[in-house]
Amino acid sequence: MPKLHRKADGKPLRDAMARAGFSIPELAKATRRVDPAGKGVSRATVGHLAGQGKTARGSCELRTAWFIAEALHKETPTPLQDLFAMPTGSTSIIERSTPDAEEE
């Protein structure tokens, strides 16, 4: 599964957190409430996605982005696509495997 990329170096995420009145730990706790398994997203991961420094991450799994967006959406109408973007299509032209019909 492709990873989603945070938009504008996380600024939309930080803005949505501010509108919702969430700190990083509060958002992490809110993700546990929207996760059917109750695990949610860790404070560290939320911090990496919302952060701006050396430890900031530019991408995450769909599950992570979904729980963050869902938790924020309960407080402020912020859809997932405002916070995260799908990666662009690959431009690689290198063939990665040999078709079954070809034999060496």
Q: What is the pLDDT of residues 42-67, one digit of tens each?
A: 999 999 999 998 989 999 999 999 99
Tokens encoding 28: 């992490």
**Where is pLDDT greater, at 94 or 18?**
18
pTM, two decimals, is 0.80
Angle between helices 11-20 and 62-73 (to 10 degrees): 30
H helix intervals, the chain: 11-20, 24-34, 43-50, 62-73, 80-83
**Where is pLDDT greater, at 9 or 103?**
9
Look at residue 93 in the predicted model and tell me its pLDDT.
Answer: 60
Domains, the chain, with CATH or none: 4-83 (1.10.260)
Q: What is the pLDDT of residues 63-97, one digit of tens each?
A: 999 999 999 998 988 889 999 997 766 655 666 66
